[in-house]
């Protein structure tokens, strides 16, 4: 299952809830303000790194770039993808859950 | 006005409610989708997570804010054959609520069961 | 693959409509089909033809109309949400005795059943909202 999160984890609990209710073999894509959840050295970085043990995490590049960030700002092993990659994730995963 | 589907396809629909009821319109308009959707004879479940559990708090009275008290609709869902209401225990407890505080019969489940409910669904609506 | 898209926020206020548009465009470029884009909540405001954004900004409603024109996408505004928010097509104008309509090209107004149908018919349903 593909889970998308579009909220900053510093404002809303969408990422926290997603991580609590995510199944093994899932993928998470951070979009819009959700991309802030991928930053390293934050108060939630450890939680995200922990989640990487069971879940592959992606970030939408255009949203990252728009916010003045790039791969060097991110926790390692988080993959930056474009909209084409976003579409491909929705094809590869049979179901989609959007944590708003 | 609403046409029934002729395909005969039945999918597992899950409505995930994570919003408190009156500060924004999402909870109310989500319920309108559930009511319309009931006519399509799909396999429907409702999940209440995070602030969504506040939608089910009993004794809601909107008379003094002059908005529609849609919380009463939950009690009528049974007539629409919408009978599977699930509340996540962690969300309920962290908000100081007990099952007795809720306006309708629900099944309180823990996070691992909620995880399974989400995974087993085919079409998930979030509003 | 057949996609259904749900847009729950209005134009300009929230990134949801932009994200939905860019997703739809990328999906089409990858050879997929958009069965329907359903606009709900304030999302119905994406269907106004009266928007006049500054010249150097994107025109969100027109962009949806153009995409729908080129790729035959069904753009549906929820009737209940549209009526509450003053989105009116010629039929609604007559029915509710309004003095104007304001719906943009290629958008139509219909019931929530269209959203349920998108959930049943599409192989993937994706939501963009707040």
Predicted confidence band of residue A25 (pLDDT cuts 50, 70, 90): confident
Token pair for A51:
């989640």
Domains annotated on chain A, with CATH: 2-99 (3.40.1260.10)
CA distances from C49 to C45, C93, C101 (A): 10, 15, 9
Best residue in A81, A87, A92, A93 to probe C by mutation, most C CBs within 10 Å? A87
The tens digit of pLDDT for each residue in B20-77 reads 999 999 999 999 999 999 999 999 999 999 999 999 999 999 999 999 999 999 999 9
User: Residue B59: helix, strand or coil by DSSP?
Assistant: coil
B80: buried, middle or exposed (CB in 10 Å: 19+, 13-18, 0-12)?
middle
Smallest CA–CA distance, residue B63 to chain C, in Å, is: 20
Helix (H) or strand (E) segment spanning residue B75 = helix B73-76
Per-residue pLDDT, B1:
42
Residue B3: inside a domain, yes or no?
A: no
Point out the catalytic residue in the list C16, C44, C78, C122.
C78
What is the model's pLDDT at position A1?
96
How close C101 gets to chain A, by Cα (Å)?
A: 32
- Is the per-residue pLDDT at B2 higher than 50? no
Of A13, A97, A100, the CB nearest to B118: A97
Report chain B residues whose CB lies below 8 A from the CB of C126.
none
Q: Is the pLDDT of residue C112 over 50?
A: yes
How close does chain C come to B127, measured CA to CA in Å? 7
| A60 burial level (CB within 10 Å; 0-12, 13-18, 19+) | buried
Give residue-wise pLDDT tens across range A33-68.
999 999 999 999 999 999 999 999 999 999 999 999
| Residues of chain A found within 8 Å of residue C127, distances taken between Cβ atoms | 96, 98, 100
Nearest by CB to residue C120, choosing from B33, B42, B125, is B42
pLDDT at C64: 98
Is C111 close to B2, i.e. CB distance below 8 A? yes
Q: How many domains does chain B have?
A: 1
Side by side, the strands of the sheet bearing A96-99 are A79-81, A56-60, A27-30, A2-5, A96-99
**pLDDT bracket for residue B6 (50, 70, 90):** low
Q: What is the CATH number of the domain that holds B107?
A: 3.40.1260.10
Q: Is the ipTM of this complex over 0.90?
A: yes
**Which residues in chain C have their CB less than 8 angstroms from residue A33's CB?**
15
Is C78 one of the annotated active-site residues of the chain? yes
**Residues of chain C contacting A63 with CB distance shorter than 8 Å:** 15, 19
Name which of A33, A83, A100 is nearest C23 (Cβ-Cβ). A83
Residue/partner pairs of B61-70 with CB below 8 Å, 24 or more apart: B62/B22, B65/B22, B67/B22, B68/B28, B70/B21, B70/B27, B70/B28, B70/B31
Using CA coordinates, name the residue in chain A closest to B114: A21
Query: Which DSSP state fits C48?
Result: B
43-82 of C, contacting B, C-beta below 8 A: 80-81
Asked whether residue B7 carries a pLDDT value surpassing 80, the answer given is: no
Q: Which letter, b or e, does each residue of C44-64 get, where b requires 16 or more Cβ atoms within 10 Å of its Cβ?
A: bbbbbeebeeeeeeebbbebb
Residues 91-110 of C with CB under 8 A from B: none
Give how far B107 is from chain A: nearest CA, Å. Answer: 17
Please tell me the predicted confidence (pLDDT) of residue B4.
Answer: 52
Q: What is the mean pLDDT of residues C113-126?
A: 97
Integer-rounded Cα Rg, in Å, for chain B is 15
- In this predicted structure, the answer to whether residue B95 has a pLDDT above a threshold of 80 is yes
Interface residue B93 vs chain A (CB under 8 A): no
What is the interface size between A and C, counted as CB pairs within 8 Å? 49
Question: Which pLDDT belongs to residue B5?
Answer: 55
Domain range list for chain C: 2-128
Name the β-bridge partners of A79: A58
Percentage of the residues of chain C whose pLDDT score is greater than 90? 100
Q: Which residues of B sit within 8 Å Cβ distance of C?
A: 1-3, 5, 7, 9, 11, 13, 25-26, 29, 32-33, 36-37, 39-40, 42, 123-127
Instruction: Name the nearest CA neighbour of C3 among B13, C30, A41, C17.
Output: C30
What residues make up the domain containing B61? 12-126
Please indicate whether, in this complex, the C-beta atoms of C113 and B3 are within 8 angstroms of each other.
Answer: yes
Report pLDDT for C30.
98
- Give CA–CA dist A28/A13, Å, rounded: 15
| CATH code for the part of the protein at C2-128 | 3.40.1260.10
- Does residue B7 lie within any of the structural domains? no
C110-123 average pLDDT score: 97
């Amino acid at each position: 299952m593909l889970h998308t999160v579009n909220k900053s984890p510093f404002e809303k609990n969408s990422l926290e809830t997603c991580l609590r209710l995510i199944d093994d073999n899932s993928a998470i894509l951070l979009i819009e303000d959700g991309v802030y959840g991928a930053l390293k050295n934050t108060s939630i970085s450890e939680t995200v790194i922990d989640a990487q043990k069971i879940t592959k995490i992606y970030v939408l590049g255009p949203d990252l770039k728009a916010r003045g960030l790039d791969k060097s700002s991110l926790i390692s092993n988080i993959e930056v993808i474009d909209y084409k990659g976003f579409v491909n994730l929705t094809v590869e995963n049979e179901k989609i859950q959007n944590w708003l | 006005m609403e046409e029934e589907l002729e395909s005969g396809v039945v999918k597992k629909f899950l409505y995930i409610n994570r919003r408190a009821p009156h500060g924004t319109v999402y909870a109310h308009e989500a319920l309108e989708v559930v009511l319309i959707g009931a006519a399509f004879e799909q396999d429907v479940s409702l999940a209440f997570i995070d602030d969504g559990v506040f939608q089910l708090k009993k004794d809601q009275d909107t008379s003094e804010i002059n908005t529609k008290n849609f919380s009463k609709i939950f009690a009528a869902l049974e007539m629409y054959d919408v009978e599977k209401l699930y509340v996540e225990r962690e969300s309920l407890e962290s908000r100081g609520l007990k099952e007795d505080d809720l306006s309708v019969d629900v099944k309180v489940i823990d996070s691992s069961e909620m995880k399974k409910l989400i995974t087993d669904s085919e079409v998930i609506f979030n509003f | 693959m057949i996609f259904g898209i749900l847009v729950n926020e209005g134009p300009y206020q929230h990134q949801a409509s932009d994200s939905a548009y860019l997703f739809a465009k990328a999906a089409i470029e990858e050879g997929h089909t958009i069965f329907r884009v359903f606009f709900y909540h304030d999302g119905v405001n994406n269907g106004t033809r009266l928007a006049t954004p500054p010249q150097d900004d994107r025109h969100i409603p027109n962009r949806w109309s153009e995409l729908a024109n080129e790729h035959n996408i069904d753009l549906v505004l929820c009737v209940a949400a549209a009526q509450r928010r003053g989105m009116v097509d010629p039929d609604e104008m007559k029915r509710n005795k309004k003095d104007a309509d304001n719906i943009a090209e290629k958008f139509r107004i219909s019931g929530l059943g269209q959203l349920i149908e998108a959930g049943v018919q599409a192989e993937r349903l994706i939501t963009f909202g707040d």
